Amino acid sequence: MSAVRTGWAVVVNDEDQYSVWPADSTPPAGWRTLGFTGSRDECLTRIAADWSDLRPASMRRRMDAA
């Protein structure tokens, strides 16, 4: 039986894509923490508030340049 995680962190990658990651673990390569931790639901609420444009950053740059 696996343990239930209680602490999560909001992480983001270079494409400004957000996710949740166990707070007691180092994010995978290419991802960094934003300093926000809490329950999974609290982290998802934070992501919903911050991540309004779901396009990857590289796509936004290309579309803005066009």
Q: Within a domain: residue 3? A: no
Q: Within a domain: residue 36? A: yes
CATH code at position 38: 3.90.820.10
Q: Within a domain: residue 56? A: yes
Distance between CA 28 and CA 33 in Å, rounded? 10
| pLDDT in the model for residue 54 | 84
Provide the domain count of the chain: 1
| pLDDT in the model for residue 33 | 96
Q: Within a domain: residue 2? A: no
Q: Within a domain: residue 34? A: yes
Residues 3-21, mean pLDDT to the nearest whole number: 89
Q: Within a domain: residue 1? A: no
H-state helical runs in the chain: 40-50, 57-65
* Listed residue (64, 34, 61) closest to 49, CA to CA: 34
The set of long-range contacts for 19-25, using a CB threshold of 8 Å and a minimum separation of 24, is: 19/47, 20/44, 20/47
Domain that holds residue 61: 8-65
Q: Within a domain: residue 39? A: yes
Q: Would you say residue 63 has pLDDT above 60?
A: yes
